Amino acid sequence: MKNLITENIGMKIMSFLIAFLLWSYVIITENPMVAREIKTAVEVTNLDSERFFLSSSLPEAKVRYRAHRRLILSGKFEGEIVTMINLAGKKEGDHSVKVSINVPPGLEVLSVEPQSINISIGKSISKILPVTPHLTLSGTDLYYDPPEILPPRVEIRGRKDLVDQATETRVFLEISKPGDFTLNLPIVLLNSDKKQVEEGLSINPAFTKVSYSVKPKPEKTVPVFAGLTGKLPDNLMLKELILEPKETVLKATPAELEKIVSISTEVIDLTGLSQSLKIKKVLIYPAGISIRHKEVTVTLKIVQTMIRKKLLLSLKASQPGYSFFPGPTVEVEIEGRSLDFTDRLRTIEIDSTSGILDSVKSFFNNLNASLLSIKPEDINLIKEGE
Which H helix or E strand runs over 223? Answer: strand 219-229
Same domain, 352 and 295: no
Same domain, 198 and 249: no
Same domain, 212 and 223: no
The closest of 212, 209, 279, 272 to 241, measured between CA atoms, is 279
Give the three-class secondary structure for 320. coil
CATH number of the structural domain spanning residue 349 = 2.170.120
pLDDT tens digits along 8-38:
666 666 766 666 666 555 555 555 777 888 8
pLDDT (0 to 100) of residue 33:
74
| Domain edge (last residue) among 304, 323, 351 | 304
Q: Give the chain's domain count.
A: 5
Give the three-class secondary structure for 340. helix
Cβ-Cβ contacts under 8 Å for 177 (sequence gap 6 or more): 142, 214
Same domain, 247 and 287: yes
Same domain, 315 and 348: yes
Global pTM value: 0.49
Same domain, 42 and 89: yes
Same domain, 119 and 73: yes
Q: How many CB atoms lie within 10 A of CB 202?
A: 14
pLDDT tens digits along 206-260:
899 999 899 999 999 999 999 999 999 888 889 999 999 999 999 999 999 999 9
Same domain, 357 and 278: no
Rounded average pLDDT over 95-106: 88
Domain encompassing residue 23: 1-30
| Domain edge (last residue) among 279, 304, 329 | 304
Cβ-Cβ contacts under 8 Å for 337 (sequence gap 6 or more): 303, 304, 305, 306, 307, 368
CATH number of the structural domain spanning residue 147 = 2.170.120.40
What pairing do the DSSP bridges indicate for beta strands 153-158 and 142-144?
Answer: unpaired
CATH number of the structural domain spanning residue 38 = 2.170.120.30
Identify the bridge partners of residue 19 per DSSP, sorted by sequence position: none
Same domain, 204 and 139: yes
Same domain, 269 and 320: no
The residue type of 361 is: K
The closest of 250, 222, 251 to 143, measured between CA atoms, is 251
Same domain, 325 and 363: yes
Same domain, 92 and 22: no
Alpha-helical regions (H) of 112-227: 160-165
Alpha-helical regions (H) of the chain: 2-6, 9-30, 69-74, 160-165, 254-259, 356-365
| Domain edge (last residue) among 273, 304, 335 | 304
Cα–Cα dist 121/45, whole Å: 13
Torsion on CA atoms 24, 29, 32, 38, rounded to nearest 10: 170
- Kindly tell me if the per-residue pLDDT of 188 is higher than 80: yes
pLDDT tens digits along 292-347:
999 999 999 998 888 889 999 999 888 888 888 888 999 999 998 888 888 889 99
Residue 283 and residue 313 in contact, taking contact as beta carbons nearer than 8 Å: no
| Residue 61 burial (C-beta neighbours within 10 Å; 0-12, 13-18, 19+) | buried
